[in-house]
Structure 1
Amino acid sequence: MRKKFEFSEADKKQVKEAIQALEQKTAGEMVVYFARESDSYLMACWKLSSIFGAIFLTLIATLSYLWLLPASVSVMTICLTAIGTTAIGFAIPYFIHTLRVSFTPDEIVSHRVLTKARDIFLQEEIFNTTDRIGILIYISELEHQVQVLGDSGINAKIEQEDWNEVLGLVIQGIKANKPAQGIASAIGKCEDLLLANDFVNVVKPDNELSDDMRIEE
């Protein structure tokens, strides 16, 4: 099992204060969600299992063709060994999560991360804000990927290139082993984007979305 990344209480407080600062100065609402993984990627287990099985059977076939297979090796032994080999191929990525991602095409991984980010957007009801100006910063630990999703009211003015700058700050902070600082900087960038596009603070209802960072266990 991989070691889980942990946020201290100080880290959570830093992120929460950055969100509160954004919401005090702008009309936006912010949610930060830290996911352990965006998918189980179990197909990678079957893929590696098939590879192990194919290699073993190819080896047996080659040894048999070259008359190098010991006569004492029975068909039952070959079958049981083949089953054991494929089981090992399945078990290795099952217990080593990062290996599952390695054996999954990059485009599929990115799609799974984006899909879960969109699910979280709906689950947290980020769409249910005044003037549709909610923002989600979604971080997926296993895949080392970040998604920034803005609601329709914001995306009408802010381009994807701007969101790329935001996620870049998150990644920079994680690489420097200062994830909370990176997330806080990204939130500050969102604040700048909102203000630059006239999403200034207005009289709005009570805090529509909790400012606490969501962290999967």
Structure 2
Amino acid sequence: MKNTAQTFLTQEEQDALVQCVKDVEKRTSGEIVPVIASSSYEYPRAELIGGLTFGIITAVCTALIFNQTDMWAFLAQLLAFFFIFTRLLRAFPALKMPFISKDEMREEINEAAFTAFYANGLHRTRDLTGIIIYVSVFEHGVQILADKGINDIVDSHVWEDVVAEITTGIKAGRPGEALCQGVIRCGELVSTHFPIKPDDTDELPNLIIEGNARKA
């Protein structure tokens, strides 16, 4: 299952995406870096709410089935079930989904993308032309951020269309192809203003998968 950063793309898709980035960067001084993360956040609040919800339901059902009336026994069972279900939610993060709002996920994806942008040095390119295509597998979310050199010229809202195209492709089961098309589209948007320079160098990795960076 493609539920982690490491399994999101096959090796062939990774190789194709790296080559796609290299080909696009032959036409622009922009530095485009796809970053794949398993999750943007651990969502501990959802874990607690989910554990409590499942714990209460299970404890009530148990009390009804066995006709229990002892309040202390009920509380003991509730605590035990709460402990069990919080551990299950931690082990199987997909169970947290009903307890996480879309707004919360979007906020966490945005924050994680900003963190990845700076942590991976996209703000340190020579001409301030770094672009991150951040994919968070757990949330099925995509975010694109560009550095100041690009944002001063290119309307930041144009990235929303690219995000929508990538997201659609991922949902259709074509993550590698979708990301490659996103890279190509980013290159088209910036190549006019930031063409390749004679002394241009590949300053950043061409693909980052949770700390594993690749240039070639």
Residue 200 (structure 1) aligns with:
195
CA contact (8 A) 1:132 1:153 kept: yes
Aligned with residue 28 of structure 1, among 30, 44, 54: 30
Residue 85 (structure 1) aligns with:
81
Against the structure 1 CA distance between its residues 41 and 170, is the aligned structure 2 distance closer, same or farther, given a 3 Å change threshold? same
Residue 128 (structure 1) aligns with:
124
CA contact (8 A) 1:31 1:209 kept: yes
Residue 172 (structure 1) aligns with:
168
Q: Take 2:128 and 2:112, find their aligned partners in 1: how far apart are those partners? A: 20
Against the structure 1 CA distance between its residues 56 and 25, is the aligned structure 2 distance closer, same or farther, given a 3 Å change threshold? closer
Q: Does residue 215 in structure 1 map to residue 205 in structure 2?
A: no
Q: Take 1:11 and 1:60, find their aligned partners in 2: how far apart are those partners? A: 49
Against the structure 1 CA distance between its residues 174 and 96, is the aligned structure 2 distance closer, same or farther, given a 3 Å change threshold? same
Structure 1: runs of 5 or more not aligned: 64-68
Tell which deviates more after alignment, 3-12 or 185-194: 3-12
Q: Take 1:204 and 1:87, find their aligned partners in 2: how far apart are those partners? A: 59
State TM-score, norm by structure 2. 0.84
Q: Take 2:39 and 2:108, find their aligned partners in 1: how far apart are those partners? A: 10
CA contact (8 A) 1:22 1:28 kept: no
Residue 94 (structure 1) aligns with:
90
CA contact (8 A) 1:41 1:101 kept: no
CA contact (8 A) 1:38 1:116 kept: yes
Residue 186 (structure 1) aligns with:
182
Against the structure 1 CA distance between its residues 150 and 3, is the aligned structure 2 distance closer, same or farther, given a 3 Å change threshold? closer
Q: Take 2:79 and 2:55, find their aligned partners in 1: how far apart are those partners? A: 8
CA contact (8 A) 1:33 1:138 kept: yes
Q: Take 1:6 and 1:164, find their aligned partners in 2: how far apart are those partners? A: 22
Residue 66 (structure 1) aligns with:
none
The one-letter amino acid paired with 2:10 is S
Q: Take 1:56 and 1:120, find their aligned partners in 2: how far apart are those partners? A: 40
CA contact (8 A) 1:148 1:163 kept: yes
Q: Does residue 10 in structure 1 map to residue 12 in structure 2?
A: yes
Residue 19 (structure 1) aligns with:
21
Structure 2: runs of 5 or more not aligned: none
Q: Take 1:99 and 1:82, find their aligned partners in 2: how far apart are those partners? A: 19
Tell which deviates more after alignment, 199-208 or 107-116: 199-208
Paired residue total: 208
